[in-house]
Amino acid sequence: MSADNPLDWTPPPRPEWLARVNEEGRGMDIASLVPLQPKELIETAMANTGLSDFGKEEEWREPFEILVKALNEEAELHLFGRLMTRSDLLIWLQERLEIEEAYRRHPEIEDEVVDAPVFIVGQARSGTSILFELLSADSQFGAPTNWEIMFPSPPPEAATYRNDPRIPKAQHLLTQWHRVAPSFLSMHELGATIPNECKVAMNCTFISDNLTGIFQIPSYYAWLAQADLTVPYAYYKRMLKLLQWKNPRRHWLLKSPSHIESLPVLFKVFPDARVVYAHRDPIKARASVTHLLGTLYWMRSDKPFDAGSFERLMTPEAYAFSLNRIIDQIEAGEVSRAQVHDFLFADLMRSPLDALTELYRKMDLPFPDQARQAVADYLAHKPQGKFGQNVYSVGEQEQIARERVIFTRYQQFHNVPNEV
């Protein structure tokens, strides 16, 4: 990444094995060898499962077809990228089929109550992931793990939750990301039993900004900007009911940075939710987002990283607009201030246990000794930088000073300190 512009990003060399696979693919008709066509994908998913009901067609069919069209016309996937993507699309389609079948056979699942879930939200790279993992050590919370997000049906059962046969399959697929892009491990650890984000679970609705974070697909992004987000949130609640049916959770612990874009919808679907809003110096967080996105896109495509297509995330003015819109929603009463609890990345780095103690107080929840000890043990085994350093530029002093003015309202409203 350029020292002059944090929006510039240069990909590191590919692993030798992957470079050789993709090089071999350059002489092949990879679109025919690894087809991404809606009709064929749907038929394959039905053949693989023996099922045919994907749920309400008006909710998923249009975004699915728009996504696949964009993947074919805009993403410029290399050979291994197409293989990964075809695998994902089939997993998501089969996931829908199996969820709908579970509800058909057991309509009582609908009666499950998702009680006062805790959602962790915030800027990307603001500490939401480490906070998620720390709070998930508390037994009063249940966080959906990667394997059950990928393979939610048949519903996980308490007795076999930690040794379910789906775990090794998910582990192989998830750690593949680290093998394809080794530098990704320094930014985000993946594994079958690690909790993951709501927007990842929403992939099976085909209405999720997670998809714009792994593919450069501007037409899909434009469609998503006007989509009804009640649909993926409601389907996610449907998934949570399924997951807790045979493996109860007292309170769900859920997380996705992008919830800050849709807090009114979140509270519409989950009216008793508690929201933990993580904050970090936006100049530091914004540069880190660029590095993360560049790596994710490079994982499946040789297409140059086009930061201009993502001005909502990339330009400081658009970034500040998004952050300030939440302040507007709070001040207008569209979002309940009493249900939104600020949490500073700086406090977490300085004194994790003290920061968490204060957070529990704000949420009016007990911080039991079991949870406190579990957090201390976790921190002892995962020091900062354990998986390598995520190094990135934040720009020159003149640029930083200009951006600092742009982010003044956000930093003052939430008392966010400067890091640079």
Of 298, 158, 146, the C-alpha closest to 215 is 298
How far is Cα of residue 107 from the mean position of the Cα atoms in its chain? 29
Residue 5 has pLDDT above 70, yes or no: no
Q: Which of 16-30, 165-179, 314-328, 379-393 has the lowest mean pLDDT?
A: 379-393
* pLDDT score, position 253: 97
Report pLDDT digits (tens) over 48-64: 999 999 999 999 999 99
Report pLDDT digits (tens) over 60-117: 999 999 999 999 999 999 999 999 999 999 999 999 999 999 999 999 999 999 999 9
* pLDDT score, position 185: 83
Please name each of the domains of the chain with its CATH number.
Answer: 16-414 (3.40.50.300)
* pLDDT score, position 125: 75
Report pLDDT digits (tens) over 154-164: 999 999 999 99
- What DSSP line would sit under 178-241, residue for residue? HHH-GGGGGT----TTSB--HHHHGGGGT--TTGGGTS--HHHHHHHTTS-THHHHHHHHHHHH
Write down the pTM of the prediction.
0.90
When pLDDT is averaged across residues 132-154 and rounded to a whole number, the result is 93
Band (395; pLDDT cuts 50, 70, 90):
low
**SS3 per-residue string spanning 343-410:** EEHHHHHHCHHHHHHHHHHHHCCCCCHHHHHHHHHHHHHCCCCCCCCCCCCCCCHHHHHHHHHHCHHH
Residue 136 has pLDDT above 70, yes or no: yes
Band (386; pLDDT cuts 50, 70, 90):
very low
Residue 266 has pLDDT above 80, yes or no: yes
* pLDDT score, position 309: 58
